[in-house]
Chain A
Amino acid sequence: MKIGFKLLVNDRGKFAALLVGITFAAFLMVMMTSMFAGILIRSSATILNVGAPVWVLDPAVNTPVSSIPMPDYVLDAVRSLPGVQYAVPLYSGGAQVKLRNGTYQAVSVIGLDDTSLYGRPELVSGKIDDIFAENAFIVVDDAEFVKLGNPTIGTRFELNDHLGVVTGIARVSTAGLFGVPTLYTTYTRAITYIPSTRFTISYILVQPKNSGAIARIKQQVASLGYQALTENEFIDKVSTFYKYQTGMGINVLLMTVISFIVGLSISGQTFYTFILENLEKFGALKAIGAKGHELVLMILFQATLTAMTGFGLGVGLAALIITLARLRLPDYAAMITYTNIGLAFVMVVLIAAISSYIGVRKVIRIEPFDIFRS
Chain B
Amino acid sequence: MGRLAVRATALVKWFGAGDARTYAVRDASFDAFFGEILYIVGPSGSGKTTLLSMISGILRPDGGTVDVDGKNIWSLSADDIASFRLNTIGFVFQDYHLFPRLTTAENVAIPLILKKMEWSQALAVATRYLEIVGLKERAQLPPVKLSGGEQQRVAIARAIASEPDILVLDEPTASLDGETGRRIVEFIRHNILNDHRCIIIVTHDNRIFEYADRIMNMEDGRIIGINREDPHEN
Contact partner of B49 (CB less than 8 A), chosen from A6, A11, A372, is A372
* Interface contact B102-A3, CB-CB below 8 Å: yes
B113 touches A371 (CB 8 A): no
Instruction: Point out the residue from B79, B85, B102 that lies within 8 Å of A6, measured CB to CB.
Output: B102
Minimum CB–CB distance from B42 to chain A (whole Å) comes to: 16
B85 partner, pick from A11, A289, A294, beta carbons under 8 A: A289
Docked-complex contact B102 and A369, CB < 8 angstroms: no
CB within 8 A of B114: which of A10, A290, A367, A368? A290
B101, A7: Cβ atoms under 8 Å?
yes
Within 8 Å by CB of B111, from A289, A367, A371, lies: A289
- With contact pairs A288-B114, A289-B111, A374-B95 given, residues A6 and B106 touching in the complex (Cβ less than 8 Å): yes
How far is it, in angstroms, between the C-alpha of A294 and the C-alpha of B116 when the chains are bound? Answer: 11
Given contacts A2-B119, A285-B110, A287-B85, contact A7 B102 (CB under 8 A): yes
CB distance from A335 to the nearest CB of B (A): 42
Binary contact track A265-284/B, C-beta < 8 Å → 1, others 0: 00000000000000011001
Cα-based distance from A3 to B99 in the complex (angstroms)? 10
* A292 interface residue per 8 A CB criterion: yes
With a cutoff of 8 Å between Cβ atoms, the chain A residues found around residue B14 in the complex are none
The 0/1 profile, CB within 8 Å of A marked 1, for residues 87-102 of chain B is: 1010101110101011
Give the bracket for the number of chain A residues in contact with chain B: 20 to 34
Give the complex CA separation of A115 and B114 in angstroms. Answer: 80
Q: Does B198 touch A at the CB level, under 8 Å?
A: no
Interface check A209, CB cutoff 8 A? no
Chain A neighbourhood of B99, CB < 8 A: 3, 7, 281, 284
Q: Using Cβ atoms and an 8 Å threshold, which residues of chain A touch B12?
A: none
B20 at the interface (CB under 8 A from A): no
> B119 to chain A: which residues have CB within 8 Å?
2
Number of B residues near A (Cβ < 8 Å) is: 29
Q: Give the complex CA separation of A287 and B89 in angstroms.
A: 10
Q: Specify which chain B residues have a CB less than 8 angstroms from the CB of A284 in the assembled complex.
A: 93, 97, 99
B73 to chain A, nearest CB (A): 13
How far does the alpha carbon of A284 sit from the alpha carbon of B84 in the complex, in Å?
15
Using A10-B101, A368-B85, A371-B93 as known contacts, list a sample of 8 further A-B pairs with CB atoms less than 8 Å apart, ordered by residue number in A.
A3-B99, A3-B113, A6-B101, A6-B106, A285-B110, A288-B86, A291-B78, A369-B53
Complex A-B, nearest 7 residue pairs according to Cβ-Cβ distance, in ascending order: A289-B86, A10-B101, A289-B85, A284-B97, A369-B59, A291-B82, A368-B58
B interface residues (Cβ-Cβ under 8 A, vs A): 49, 53, 58-59, 78-79, 82-87, 89, 91, 93-95, 97, 99, 101-102, 106, 110-111, 113-114, 119, 158, 162
- Give the interface of A toward B (CB within 8 A): 2-3, 6-7, 10-11, 280-281, 284-292, 294, 367-369, 371-372, 374
